[in-house]
Structure 1
Amino acid sequence: MRIALVSDCYLPRLGGIELQVHDLAVQLIRAGHEVTVFTITDGPSSAGDVPVVRLPAFGGVPLGAAVDRLRSSLPGFDVVHCHSSLVSPLAWQAARLAHRPFLTLHSLPSASTPWPLARIDRYVGNAQWSAVSEAVAEVLRQLLPERPIGVLHNGVDPALWRQYRRTAHPLTIVSTMRLVRRKRPLATLRILEQIRAAVPSAVELRAVVVGDGPQTAAAARAVRRRGLSGWVDLPGRMTRCEIQQLYASADVYLAPAELESFGVAALEARCAGLAVVAMASGGVGEFVRPGIEGQLVHSDAEMAAAAAALLSDPAELSRIQSFNHDNNPAMTWTNVLAQHLTAYSTSTWSRPVEVRETQPPSASRR
């Protein structure tokens, strides 16, 4: 099949949707399909073996020339799969132009923040909606009750994350995120402070919060202000290879985001053999079961307590680590690729194209 993957955000920018779209493209190409990525993220005309069409945009909104290119290019593909966050004007425009496109939501909307999904749905027309997790799918089903909503998970290659685990290291807590408010890096530092207070002082601890973003400077100030400099590191952005090496000497992974649509970083840490402590409100619960792969919690205080309990119980920590290291999650790329290809070849659409919005939803919010 000729498959177009459309995503506003893509490599070389790093993030969950960027890496997942790229990995999906790589897996599809390895399976013998012809794949092209369309994006408004600046960069080279290819990402490894993946051809990339970089479209012009201003302020994150595709220009007329970008729309013209989509209109002329998309009819030549058997499948058009658009990948959307909460604001994705390119993906929405492509879904509007394509014949029976797929539209996958990678973000978990907040109940406290209005999101014009009904208007987006009218604008894109007869797109087949899906979500990266059941948590996101449930929100879509509530907001679009007449639409069939499927799940197309993110994927992982467990073998890439199963490095040789180093035993000679202090007990290490890690978290990998973009340092933005939604991911809660400052809350993570407060949780780490509580963990240190709960674990006996004779136990050496180390913590590493990987990533960069708008709250980088604030996080650095918080580390100094809270007196965490002696054991908490903020190394900034790291490559996948560097993160894999870090996880080989780590023990517990924290996933503090309350609106985690899926949790790719947590899934990777789980495959690396780390015990995962995550908020129960998002998609991480689809691959972390309490007492098996880690713990699910409902507050920062619960997260600190659960992590401290694991760090204070070597036998329990070792049991969870061994299970995670030795057992694959359901979301391997073998399974996820089959899930996508089945959807591409068998999906049905429940209704004809309706009267559409004439103005992009993003434009109305500017």
Structure 2
Amino acid sequence: MGGSGSPRRARTAGRRRVALVTSSYAPHVGGVEEHVRQVARELIGQGCAVEVWSVDRGTGPVTRELDGVTVRYLPTPLPSASPGGIARFARAYPGAWRRWADARAEFRPDLVHVHCFGPNGVYALALHRRSRLPLMVTSHGETVADDGAVYDRSALLRAALRRALAAAAAVTAPSAFVVDDLRSRFGLIGGEVVPNGVDLAVAGDARRSPFEGEYLLAVGRLGRTKGFDLLIDAMAGLRSGAGPADPDGIDAAAGGDIRLVIVGDGPEQARLEALVDAHGLGGRVVLAGRLDPTAVADAMAGATAVVVPSRTEAFGIVALEAWRSGAALVMTERGGAPGFVVDGVDGLLVDPLDVDALRSAIRRVVDDRELRARLVDAGRRRVPEFTWRRVAEAYVADYDRILDGDDARDRRAAETA
């Protein structure tokens, strides 16, 4: 590990000091925010000292205490190709770097653990190089499932990610799908799968569901990658009322009375609303907005099925949430789900780009009560495998391996001197 810096303080065994360097954090919501929040809590429970360092996205105070964790919101300016962009970066960088250097000096982490590599990862890589801080990287699928396709557009981020993967003492991702992408496109050698987790304490209660009657439920940020437009197209073919059989031999009335509820908000909301109107589904498709986690769990518990129609899904925490709440699962096969969902056993895997196939999968799970019961039972048996404690334990094992090895090198160097 190159670079120079102040001497590192002696570490106390079992009391690791870890900076979780994330692309986003509360008050923003999403998969990486929830992952880092839960992991921070579990790491503290396992004896680590933890701070969260997040990209400053205009959250207000630059340091907060959230859930007993110090959260620092740090600036991450990057240069752009234009002369004006380079000039703006030159003005902003000294102050930004001073904030990162101060965070290191005040918290004195043993290790920086990047989550969802972006500008946060660029600055963590710089700390690694300048201060000899061990670096660990966890990808959350940002290279494969980003609506903005930032890695296709930014040569700087592509180069920084390659360098960080080469420099990191450990690299993890939630699925083999993501690890394989890092290997094939960004030069990763090795890599470890650490699946996502779910909070088993938030089980959900159908009696408290905010929605009545029979409904399908979809949950997530309203972005193109999540494929909610494909799900709305599939709902358009589930015609209400009696009618002749479709070409696939399934009664056209199947699923006709069931509604679709989509929970979440995001940039695609207006387009999805227009698509609902274009299909004449105003009475059968509800865009419910964002709900708190308990209400989502209750809504899942009351749903006939939870549908995840993503064009690409790095892992799919929603699948774990569906299992936890006792909902049948219809899940995209595009991404990491085939690595943990067993088709026909604990979920139905389908290619959502094939809208007819998506529609048929929905019909199967709506019409077949016994199938639903089998999927629900299998999901409930599987979900205890995916706890946040197990995620944190996997990370701690990496920390111990990295830092114990680092300490051994320090001792050998001291003995030689």
Which of the five TM-score ranges fits, normalised by the shorter chain? Answer: 0.7 to 0.9
Match of 2:27 in 1: 12
The correspondence of residues 277-356 of structure 1 with structure 2, limited to 5 A, is 277-298=330-351, 299-347=354-402
Percent of aligned pairs with the same amino acid: 29
Residues 66 and 94 from structure 1, CA distance in 2 versus in 1: closer, same or farther, beyond 3 angstroms? same
Structure 1: how far apart are the matches of 2:384 and 2:340? Answer: 6
Structure 2: how far apart are the matches of 1:121 and 1:268? Answer: 31
Structure 1 residue 347 displacement after superposition: 4.3
CA RMSD, 1 decimal? 3.0
Which structure's residues are more often helix, by fraction? 2
Match of 1:256 in 2: 309
Structure 1 residue 172 displacement after superposition: 2.0
The correspondence of residues 94-113 of structure 1 with structure 2, limited to 5 A, is 94-98=124-128, 99-107=133-141, 109-110=143-144
The yes-or-no answer on 1:89 pairing with 2:116 is no
Residues 97 and 148 from structure 1, CA distance in 2 versus in 1: closer, same or farther, beyond 3 angstroms? same
Residues 146 and 12 from structure 1, CA distance in 2 versus in 1: closer, same or farther, beyond 3 angstroms? closer
Query: Residues 53-78 of structure 1: CA distance to partner in whole angstroms, max 9, x if unpaired?
Result: 11235699884333222234336112
Query: Residues 265-319 of structure 1: CA distance to partner in whole angstroms, max 9, x if unpaired?
Result: 2221122111211221211223311111111112332222111111111111122
Structure 1 residue 156 displacement after superposition: 1.0
Contact 2:144 / 2:178 at 8 angstroms: preserved in 1?
no
Structure 2: how far apart are the matches of 1:165 and 1:141? Answer: 46
Structure 1 residue 174 displacement after superposition: 0.7
Residues 20 and 55 from structure 1, CA distance in 2 versus in 1: closer, same or farther, beyond 3 angstroms? same
Contact 1:293 / 1:320 at 8 angstroms: preserved in 2?
yes
The correspondence of residues 1-366 of structure 1 with structure 2, limited to 5 A, is 1-39=16-54, 40-41=56-57, 42-43=59-60, 45-57=64-76, 63-74=93-104, 76-85=108-117, 88-98=118-128, 99-107=133-141, 109-110=143-144, 114=152, 119-124=159-164, 126-127=167-168, 128-145=170-187, 147-163=189-205, 170-196=213-239, 200=253, 204-298=257-351, 299-347=354-402
Structure 1: how far apart are the matches of 2:264 and 2:313? Answer: 16
Look up the SS of the partner of 1:200 in the other structure: coil
Residues 202 and 185 from structure 1, CA distance in 2 versus in 1: closer, same or farther, beyond 3 angstroms? closer
Structure 1 residue 194 displacement after superposition: 2.8
Query: Residues 164-190 of structure 1: CA distance to partner in whole angstroms, max 9, x if unpaired?
Result: 678996332111111111222222211
The structure, 1 or 2, with the larger RCO (C-alpha pairs under 8 Å, 6+ apart) is 1
Give the aligned length. 348
Look up the SS of the partner of 2:137 in the other structure: strand
Q: Which 10-residue stretch deviates more, 67-76 or 329-338?
A: 67-76
Structure 1 residue 13 displacement after superposition: 0.7
Unaligned runs of 5+ in 1: 349-366
Structure 2: how far apart are the matches of 1:340 and 1:114? Answer: 29
Q: Which 10-residue stretch deviates more, 166-175 or 88-97?
A: 166-175
Contact 2:32 / 2:140 at 8 angstroms: preserved in 1?
yes
Unaligned runs of 5+ in 2: 1-15, 80-88, 241-250, 404-417
Structure 2: how far apart are the matches of 1:52 and 1:312? Answer: 48
Match of 1:360 in 2: none
Structure 1 residue 335 displacement after superposition: 1.8
What amino acid is the match of 1:14? V
Contact 1:108 / 1:259 at 8 angstroms: preserved in 2?
no
Look up the SS of the partner of 1:254 in the other structure: strand
Query: Residues 104-137 of structure 1: CA distance to partner in whole angstroms, max 9, x if unpaired?
Result: 1111535997475762245436123321211101
Contact 2:239 / 2:255 at 8 angstroms: preserved in 1?
no
TM-score, reference length from structure 2: 0.75
Structure 1 residue 258 displacement after superposition: 2.1
What amino acid is the match of 1:188? L
Contact 1:173 / 1:251 at 8 angstroms: preserved in 2?
yes
Look up the SS of the partner of 1:204 in the other structure: coil
Q: Which 10-residue stretch deviates more, 141-150 or 247-256?
A: 141-150
Structure 1: how far apart are the matches of 2:142 and 2:356? Answer: 23
Residues 151 and 67 from structure 1, CA distance in 2 versus in 1: closer, same or farther, beyond 3 angstroms? farther
TM-score, reference length from structure 1: 0.85
Look up the SS of the partner of 1:160 in the other structure: coil
Structure 2: how far apart are the matches of 1:202 and 1:283? Answer: 28
Contact 1:118 / 1:143 at 8 angstroms: preserved in 2?
no
Structure 1 residue 145 displacement after superposition: 4.8
